[in-house]
């Protein structure tokens, strides 16, 4: 089985070869990334988990270097692979910073690179056990370079807080890192195209491979499609556990849907999905939390 160190090395080599094949002669690396790479733990020094580690791991807000359940940089969506060794925290931070730099400089979708104000790469803890994945940045996210900061984002923040966590305890990202352009329109968003999703998804795969969340929440149909491929509609999928490369994935409604459809019954469904997520993560659930929407 490839070690975490070798997986990172493979991913870095693949990226450099890709750059070279596209004519790049130099790579820009920030001084702090270089410093962190210089301190990277060698394979022989990578700590191994104690053999008597209990199977159940209740939610801890940050778990630097926690072992993946079954994810791998090299696995295909849906593929289950053996648990990987824990990542060295400094190597992980350096790899994440390098990934972010690549995404921020990305011009693979020329039309989006020229229309965007900012790349909304992702936000939160890179050691999060819980990760939320949405569709793509909207106007507010494009303006601020951060996912889920507009109206739908404010509702997502409330949902996260209702579980007892904060945005800083989880990680939030999108299928697309750039706002889908809307030429000729002054307002509104559009769904990402299949080509845009296919071009951008490797960044999300790498984010997940490095963060190794214990649970992923896919917000809406596009997030599910990006992570699992085209399956059933979100109405059929939500509330049912799926698996993304060995990691439990809960599809639920996008918060923008809840803003459009104010019915209490729909909010309650999303909350039920979050209760299932909290149970999976062995988070404490109070009576008040259990009964939030009981009368809806």
Residues that bind ligand URA (CB under 6 A): 120, 134-138, 141, 147-148, 150, 152-153, 174, 256
CA angle 207, 33, 101 (to 5 degrees): 50
Give residue 9's region: left, alpha or beta (phi > 0; psi -120 to 50).
alpha
Least distance in angstroms from the C-beta of 132 to ligand URA: 9
Q: How many CB atoms lie within 10 A of CB 267?
A: 19
| Minimum distance, C-beta of residue 217 to ligand URA, in the bound complex (Å) | 12
Cβ proximity to ligand URA, 86 vs 150, nearer residue: 150
Q: Which is nearer to ligand URA, 67 or 217 (CB)?
A: 217
- Between strands 242-244 and 247-252, the pairing is antiparallel
CB closer to ligand URA out of 14 and 151: 151
For residue 109, report the phi and psi dihedrals to the nearest 5 degrees: -100, 95
H-run or E-run covering 255: helix 255-260
From first CA to last CA, the distance across the chain in angstroms is: 49
3-state secondary structure 181-245: CCCCCCCCCCCCCHHHHHHHHHHHHHHHHHHCCCEEEEECHHHHHHHHCCCCCHHHHCCCCEEEC
Residue 235 Cβ, how far from ligand URA at the closest point, in Å? 18
147 vs 248 by CB, closer to ligand URA: 147
Pull the structure tokens for residue 256. Answer: 């923008």
Least distance from C-beta 150 to ligand URA, angstroms? 6
* C-beta of 80 vs 166, nearer to ligand URA: 166
Q: Are 210 and 95 in contact (CB under 8 A)?
A: yes
Q: How far is the CB of 267 from ligand URA (least distance, A)?
A: 17
Integer Cα distance of 276 and 250 in angstroms: 8
Q: Nearest approach, Cβ of 119 to ligand URA (angstroms)? A: 12
Q: Which residue is nearest to ligand URA (CB)?
A: 134
Q: Of the two residues 11 and 176, which places its CB atom closer to ligand URA in the complex? A: 176
């Amino acid at each position: 089985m490839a070690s975490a160190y070798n997986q990172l090395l493979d991913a870095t080599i693949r990226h450099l070869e890709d750059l070279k094949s596209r004519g790049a002669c130099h790579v820009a690396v920030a001084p702090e990334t270089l410093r962190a790479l210089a301190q990277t733990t060698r394979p022989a020094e990578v700590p191994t988990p104690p053999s008597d580690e209990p199977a159940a791991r209740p939610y801890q807000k940050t778990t630097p270097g926690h072992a993946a359940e079954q994810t791998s940089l090299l696995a295909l969506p849906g593929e289950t692979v053996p648990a990987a060794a824990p990542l060295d925290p400094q190597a992980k931070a350096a790899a994440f910073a390098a990934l972010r730099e690549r995404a921020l400089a990305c011009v693979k979708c020329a039309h989006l690179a020229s229309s965007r104000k900012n790349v909304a790469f992702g936000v939160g803890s890179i050691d999060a056990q819980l990760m939320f994945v949405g569709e793509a940045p909207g106007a507010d996210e494009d303006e601020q370079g951060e996912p889920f900061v507009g109206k739908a984002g404010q509702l997502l923040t409330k949902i996260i807080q209702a579980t007892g966590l904060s945005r800083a305890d989880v990680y939030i990202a999108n299928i697309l890192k750039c706002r889908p352009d809307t030429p000729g329109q002054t307002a509104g968003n559009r769904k990402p195209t299949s080509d845009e999703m296919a071009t951008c998804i490797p960044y999300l795969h790498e984010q997940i491979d490095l963060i190794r969340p214990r649970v992923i929440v896919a917000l809406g149909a596009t997030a599910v499609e990006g992570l699992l491929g085209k399956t059933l509609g979100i109405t059929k999928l939500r509330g049912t556990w799926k698996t993304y490369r060995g990691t439990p994935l809960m599809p639920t409604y996008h918060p923008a849907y809840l803003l459009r459809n104010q019915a209490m019954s729909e909010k309650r469904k999303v909350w039920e999905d979050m209760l299932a997520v909290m149970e999976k993560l062995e988070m404490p659930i109070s009576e008040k939390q259990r009964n939030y929407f009981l009368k809806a």
